[in-house]
Structure 1
Amino acid sequence: MTRDITFSDATALAELIRTKQLSPVEVVRAHLDRIEAVDPEVNAIVTVAQGALAAAKQAEAAVMAGEELGPLHGVPFTVKDSIDTAGVLTQRGSPIFKGRVPDTDATSVARLKKAGGILLAKTNLPEFSYWIESDNLLSGRSNNPWDLDRTPGGSSGGESAAIAAGMSPLGLGTDLAISVRGPAAQTGIVSLKATHGRVPMTGIWPRAPRRFWHVGPMARSIRDLSLAFSQLSGPDGLDAFSTSTVPFDAGVGASPDRKLRVGWMVGPGFGPIDTEVAETVRAAAEALRGEGHLVEEGHIPALERDFALDVFNKLHVMEMKPAFREATAGRPDGEIYKMARTMLSLPDTSMEDFVAAEQAAERLRDGYAAYFRDYDVLLTPVLPVPAHKHGIQELVVKGETVDLTYLQGATVPLNLTGLPGLSMRFGTSREGLPINVQLVGSWQAETTILHAASVLERVSPVRDLHPSL
């Protein structure tokens, strides 16, 4: 029964709690037991919220009293440790912030609590949320529950590992260039990076560069992403980027008024893509075609003119370095890990190159805008390869050796442009590792990609697969 609870999605748990088939106490205890059983190997959890069981007992009393219940009433959730949680350690993956306890919740955390969710634990990340593997001096390295010798990704790698291993049904991660979509792909769960500004970043560090940062839900099902996003979205009056009042309907899976127009791409413009990954994208495209949607190979010339990863690197370094300098000023070398050292050692971008990169980013936005005149959805890889071994510095993809940062080739364009992107599993590698695909929509079109994802989920060849931990 415990495994049934810990591998149920949040929507199912909420319904079982609402109908008194499960109590919030049972659900929270099952997840705490699962953490105790498997986290010593995975190392996804950095802090267990001491108030979780007390909150579960209060939630149980509310059910028994017949009170009005929120859509996530009694459901536990976890949160990346760069996101503030009132009264619970938020240490940002660094000894510099060891022992830091915020007074208030980040807006995203407060909204999940308002929906009835129970904060269960905080999850691991790289130092300052800055890298594509979750490792730091304070809480160590997280491992992939599908293969402990491989990474669950970064920077929301602890979150992805916790959900994949059944330690949490739902969580919050942040995404600067890859960080909710890539880890989801490496562990086979689902995640959503919504249109920039749809979910406030209030209470999350670092804020710079704010125009590229996102916070978003990570989960085990598309309906959970939809439900969580419906609670998270909307301005809070504090984050000036979060101004959208475009309504969002949490219902997914209903037939649209017309067939979706879907273009799929495996390049050019993303860097080299592994054959198995490319085949998975094509398989997802064919599955949508089989469901009656209009599918063809797409093309975005702007991605070929301006390699988005190069553009991003010229822009974000100049904006992040001041925050890193401030955080590390006067601190002993033993408190500063390789992530911050790398950032601080990078050369400054010249003003000429910075302006050129800004113009390239505008061309990329225009290129996507032109694409979405003719299509509703863009289907791409998330990563060029499945989850890789710990500690590597280079990838060999189809015979080409590239820097590890090339993992971000298909994800970073959405941070530069602010477009929404969803990561979901649709394949398995020869080594038994998850392979995800990315669904991209036009600005504010989360409903469209959630619908397309629900179609793929329904016909997926890899539904209900979980690690054997």
Structure 2
Amino acid sequence: MSDDLIYSDATKLAELIRKKEVSPVEVVQAHLDRIDAVDPKVNAIVTLAADALKSAKLAEKAVLAGDELGPLHGVPFTAKDSIDTAGVLTQRGSPIFKGRLPDRDATSVARLKKAGGILLAKTNLPEFSYWIESDNLLSGRSNNPWDLERTPGGSSGGESAAIAAGMSPLGLGTDLAISVRGPAAQTGITSMKATHGRVPMTGIWPRAPRRFWHVGPMARSVRDVALAFSQLAGSDGEDAFATSTVQFDAGVGRAPYRQLRVGWMVGPGFGPVDSEVAATVKVAAEALKDLGLSVEEVRIPALERDFALEVFNRLHVMEMKPAFAEATAGRKPDELYNMAKTMLGLPDTTMKDYIEAEQAAERLRDGYAEYFRKYDALITHVLPIPAHKHGVEEFVIDGKKVDATYLQGATVPLNVTGLPGVAMRFGTSKEGLPINVQIVGSWLAESTILHVASLLEKVSPVQGLRPNL
């Protein structure tokens, strides 16, 4: 029964609990046992919520009493350790914040709790949530459940590893350029970066540059991501970017009122892409065509004119360095890991370059707006390669040598423009590693891309695959 529980999705667990077929205590205990069994190898969990079982017992009483239950009642969830949790350590992957104990939940955590979710644990991340690997001086390096010699990604790598390994059915990550979708791709789970501002960033650090940061759900099924997003979205009166009042319906399986139009591409505009990854995107596009959607290969000229990764780099360094400088002021060098030192050492963007980058970002938004006048969704890769080995800083992809920042080539355009994107597995590499695709939609069109993702999930050739731990 425990094996069934740890690999049931959150939606199924909530259903079993409502029907009294399983107790919240059993569910939480099964996941705690799984953490004990496999986390010493994976190192995804940094702090357990001490009151998780107590909360599960209270949830069990509510079920037995016939109380009204939330959509996630009794279901455990985890949260990246940059997201504040009341009474549970939130140390941001840095000795600078060692022992930090928030007195208030982040809005996203509070909303999952209000839906009945039970905070189980906090998960690992790179220092200050800033890198494509989850490694730091405080809690060490997280490993990929599919191959412990490889990374589960960053910056939400501990979260992705925990979910892929069955330690958690549902989690919260944050995304500046890649950090929810990239880790999902490296571990073969599902995640979504919604339209910027749909989910408040209140209670999450760092916030600079605020217009690029997102918080989003991570899970093993599309319906779980949709369910979590339906609880997370909406203004909280504190995050000024979170002003959307557009309602979201968690029902992702409904047929559209007309034939959906979908484009697919792997470049140009994203940088080099591995042939196995490109082939997976094409297979996903063909699967949608077989399902009756209108699908064709496309190009987006704006992405070819302005390389989004370069635009992002010119903008975010100017805005993020002051936040890093403030957090590290007066600290000893041995309290800082690689990325804080790297960020602080980068040259400032000139005002001329900054203004030009702002104009380029506007052109990118206009380019996507033009695309979405004709199409409902876009299918791309998430990462140009499957999960890589730890510590690699240069890659040869499709015959071209690139640095590690190029792994963000297909994800960062959505942060620069604020567009929503879903990452989900649809393939496997020759080495047995997950390959995900990314479904992109227009602003506030999360229901569309979740619907497309749900269609792909039903015909996925990788359904039910689990890492062997």
TM-score by length of 2: 1.00
Question: Who is 2:425 aligned against?
Answer: 425
User: Map of 1:273-312 to 2, 5 A cutoff?
Assistant: 273-312=273-312
The question of 1:330 aligning with 2:325 is answered no
The question of 1:113 aligning with 2:113 is answered yes
SS at the partner of 2:402? strand
Query: Counterparts of 1:174 and 1:164 in 2: how far apart (Å)?
Result: 17
**Paired residue type of 1:369:** A
Query: Counterparts of 1:238 and 1:120 in 2: how far apart (Å)?
Result: 26
Question: Who is 2:138 aligned against?
Answer: 138
Question: Who is 1:266 aligned against?
Answer: 266
The question of 1:164 aligning with 2:164 is answered yes
**Paired residue type of 2:459:** V
User: Map of 1:23-422 to 2, 5 A cutoff?
Assistant: 23-422=23-422
SS at the partner of 1:396? strand
**Paired residue type of 1:131:** W
SS at the partner of 2:87? coil
Question: Who is 2:464 aligned against?
Answer: 464
Deviation at 1:459, TM superposition (A): 0.4
Query: Counterparts of 2:382 and 2:292 in 1: how far apart (Å)?
Result: 24
Deviation at 1:254, TM superposition (A): 0.9
Deviation at 1:260, TM superposition (A): 0.9
Query: Counterparts of 1:439 and 1:298 in 2: how far apart (Å)?
Result: 14
Deviation at 1:299, TM superposition (A): 1.3
Query: Counterparts of 1:82 and 1:196 in 2: how far apart (Å)?
Result: 18
**Structure 2 residue ranges without an equivalent (≥5):** none
Deviation at 1:405, TM superposition (A): 0.4
Query: Counterparts of 1:308 and 1:399 in 2: how far apart (Å)?
Result: 21
SS at the partner of 2:401? strand
Deviation at 1:3, TM superposition (A): 1.1
SS at the partner of 1:361? helix
Query: Counterparts of 2:392 and 2:278 in 1: how far apart (Å)?
Result: 22
Deviation at 1:350, TM superposition (A): 0.2
Query: Counterparts of 1:9 and 1:108 in 2: how far apart (Å)?
Result: 19
Deviation at 1:399, TM superposition (A): 1.3
Superposition RMSD on alpha carbons, in Å? 0.3
- The percentage of counterpart residues that share the same residue type is 80
**Paired residue type of 2:331:** R
Query: Counterparts of 1:192 and 1:140 in 2: how far apart (Å)?
Result: 26
Deviation at 1:114, TM superposition (A): 0.1
Query: Counterparts of 1:180 and 1:393 in 2: how far apart (Å)?
Result: 20
Query: Counterparts of 2:260 and 2:151 in 1: how far apart (Å)?
Result: 35
Deviations 1:293-350 (A, max 9, x none): 0000111000000000000000000111011001111111111111100000000000
Query: Counterparts of 1:55 and 1:260 in 2: how far apart (Å)?
Result: 43
Deviation at 1:108, TM superposition (A): 0.1
Deviation at 1:271, TM superposition (A): 0.3
SS at the partner of 2:173? strand
Query: Counterparts of 1:449 and 1:289 in 2: how far apart (Å)?
Result: 15
Query: Counterparts of 1:339 and 1:77 in 2: how far apart (Å)?
Result: 28
**Paired residue type of 1:433:** L
Deviation at 1:61, TM superposition (A): 0.3
Query: Counterparts of 2:38 and 2:464 in 1: how far apart (Å)?
Result: 19
**Paired residue type of 2:261:** R
Query: Counterparts of 1:345 and 1:450 in 2: how far apart (Å)?
Result: 40
SS at the partner of 1:62? helix
Query: Counterparts of 2:225 and 2:338 in 1: how far apart (Å)?
Result: 33
**Paired residue total:** 469
SS at the partner of 2:119? strand
Query: Counterparts of 1:397 and 1:316 in 2: how far apart (Å)?
Result: 25
**Paired residue type of 2:90:** T
SS at the partner of 2:122? strand
Structure 1 residue ranges, 4+ long, deviating more than 3 angstroms after superposition: none
Query: Counterparts of 2:298 and 2:443 in 1: how far apart (Å)?
Result: 18
Q: Pick which of 324-333 and 189-198 moved more.
A: 324-333
Query: Counterparts of 1:17 and 1:468 in 2: how far apart (Å)?
Result: 28
**Paired residue type of 1:275:** S
**Paired residue type of 1:85:** T
Query: Counterparts of 1:387 and 1:309 in 2: how far apart (Å)?
Result: 20
Question: Who is 1:16 aligned against?
Answer: 16
Deviations 1:253-293 (A, max 9, x none): 11100111000001000000000000000000000000000
SS at the partner of 2:284? helix
**Structure 1 residue ranges without an equivalent (≥5):** none
**Paired residue type of 1:278:** A
SS at the partner of 1:37? helix
Query: Counterparts of 1:115 and 1:372 in 2: how far apart (Å)?
Result: 33
**Paired residue type of 1:55:** S
Query: Counterparts of 1:464 and 1:198 in 2: how far apart (Å)?
Result: 31
